[in-house]
A and B are shown apart, each in its own frame.
Chain A
Amino acid sequence: MDFSLTEDQQVFRTQIIDFARKRLNAGVIERDEAAAFDRDGWQACAEMGLLGLPVPEVYGGLGLDVTSSMLAMEALGYGAHDQGLPFAINTQLWTCEVPILTFGTEAQKAHYLPRLVTGEIVGGHASSEPNAGSDVFSMATRAEKLDDDTWKLSGTKTFVSNGPIADVLIVFAKTSQARGFGAGITAFLIEPKTTAGVTVSPPIHKMGLRSSPMGELALDEVLVQDSQRLGKVGAGQAVFSSEMEWERSCLFACHLGAMERQLEKCIEHAKDRKQFGQTIGSFQAVSHRIANMKLRIEVARPLLYKVAWLKDRGERAVMEAAIAKLYVSEAYVQSSLDAVAIFGGYGFCTEYEVERMLRDSVGSVLYSGTSDIQRNLIARFLGL
């Protein structure tokens, strides 16, 4: 494994960081307080190519490999102080665009991908339900086949990131009573704004990632054309697993970028802030905390890059993605707590933007499968 960056990757990285600093960082505190989505920033990211990183050029994307896409996300996480916007972008990329690319028909790709890439429409996915979170395949949403052409979907989805602003969502529903693998689940492309019987709730209030809207989706006897089915009947679990492998690596690269920025901020503060006549960085309690933050970043990076490397070689990285996700998310929360400790009372104040990162980080040990679920998966792969 060679993790050195190519010249193109280095240039793109620098461009993204400069872009994020110039275009995405004004009004972050206000957006967080108002739980406001940055639609202008979204559009600017689309113009930068960030909404189409792995999408082939024929659909308007950049056609990048996994490693380059991951590096771009790391750069975005580093440059953008508003972590809600990158979260919304990651949601669309890995849980909407990539599954359409992987499982979609040519017509579905041509219909959705170019508009997702330009930012004209927003996408996401809806799998979780009020009573089916970690055990997502026990979902209650049903899709009943009425005739060759039509399905009827009923059920409730929750925690749908981008839901309140989405134009297209991949919705998972049971198409048979089968148990075990597949569990009779099929994926459908649903356009919530224009489909009768679909209701999206206003954004759910949450502790972090507040500028990334998340909602509930109610499906009341929604009629869906068979041409809106994504993948084969019963392929829902395959669609979901493929999404998770991407999300558990590329989204978490964004968090790695954020941790790098957080570290720099802490070092600067530790060198600047004086107590007892010395800079606080000269106290071992503080410097060791910072050393641990650095250690976490250095461990996290190769874990993530290994997943990208495997995927670029066409290999599966299910366990590796779970390991990377588990480590990065827990490291992100711990480093965010450390950052608050290093900033003292200022770390508790909104103005310093340290507390927001802590609030943003907590979701990472929950979404894409909780830490417990990642450990379960790793243990199963180890034969336990």
Chain B
Amino acid sequence: MSGALKLSLATFVKNELARGQPELDVEKDSLVDSGVIDSVGIMKLVSFIEKELHVKIGDEDLLPENFETLSDIVKLVESKRA
């Protein structure tokens, strides 16, 4: 379950948010520090999670620590599914 979730999030981040940054390792690098998750990137990602993965992310969860790395995002989505 977590593997599929991670893959779908990684694909979205790579194709939609990190275009033009081929050197970025979306599985390991900080998505916040690299600027992949910025003020618009976060809204795109959350819209994707809510629409495509059917998981509601509250405004109060939109904190940098929940989006620092791919694992943090997976953890957040899983905690909301639980």
Contact = CB atoms under 8 A, between A and B. Distances in A.
A170 to B, nearest CB: 14
A181 B44 contact: no
Contacts of A179: 32-33, 35
A137 interface: yes
A314 B56 contact: yes
Nearest to B44: A381
Contacts of A180: 30-38, 64
A237 interface: yes
Interface in B6-31: 16, 19, 30-31
A235 interface: yes
A232 B63 contact: yes
Contacts of B38: 180-181
B60 A237 contact: no
B77 interface: no
Contact of A182 (B19, B32, B56): B32
Interface in A121-176: 137
A103 B59 contact: yes
Contacts of A241: 39, 42-43, 59, 62
A178 interface: yes
A181 B41 contact: yes
Contact of A181 (B16, B19, B56, B67): B67
Given A318-B47, A383-B16, A238 B33 contact: no
B50 interface: yes
A179 B34 CA distance: 9
Contacts of A242: 59
Interface residues of B, number: 29
Nearest to A180: B32
Which one of A179, A181, A184, A377 has the greatest number of beta carbons of chain B within 10 Å? Answer: A181
Contacts of A235: 60, 62-63
Interface in A333-384: 376-377, 380-381, 383
B78 interface: no
A315 interface: yes
B46 interface: yes
Contacts of A181: 32, 37-39, 41-42, 64, 67
8 contacts: A180-B32, A181-B39, A181-B41, A232-B60, A234-B65, A238-B62, A316-B47, A376-B40
A231 interface: yes
A279 interface: no
Given A181-B42, A182-B63, A241-B43, 14 more contacts: A103-B59, A179-B35, A180-B31, A180-B33, A180-B34, A182-B64, A231-B60, A232-B63, A241-B39, A241-B42, A316-B47, A376-B40, A381-B43, A383-B19
Contacts of B43: 241, 316, 318, 381
Given A103-B60, A315-B50, A237 B39 contact: yes
Interface of B: 16, 19, 30-44, 46-47, 50-51, 56, 59-60, 62-65, 67
Contacts of B63: 182, 232, 234-235, 238
A307 to B, nearest CB: 14
Question: Residue among A102, A103, A380, A381 with the most chain B CB within 10 A?
Answer: A380
Contacts of A376: 40
B67 to A, nearest CB: 6
B59 A102 contact: yes
Contacts of B62: 235, 237-238, 241
A181 B72 CA distance: 14
B21 to A, nearest CB: 13
A234 B64 contact: yes
A73 B37 CA distance: 34
Given A181-B32, A242-B59, A314-B56, A381 B64 contact: no
Contacts of A103: 59-60
A195 B74 CA distance: 42
Contacts of A319: 47
A321 B32 CA distance: 25
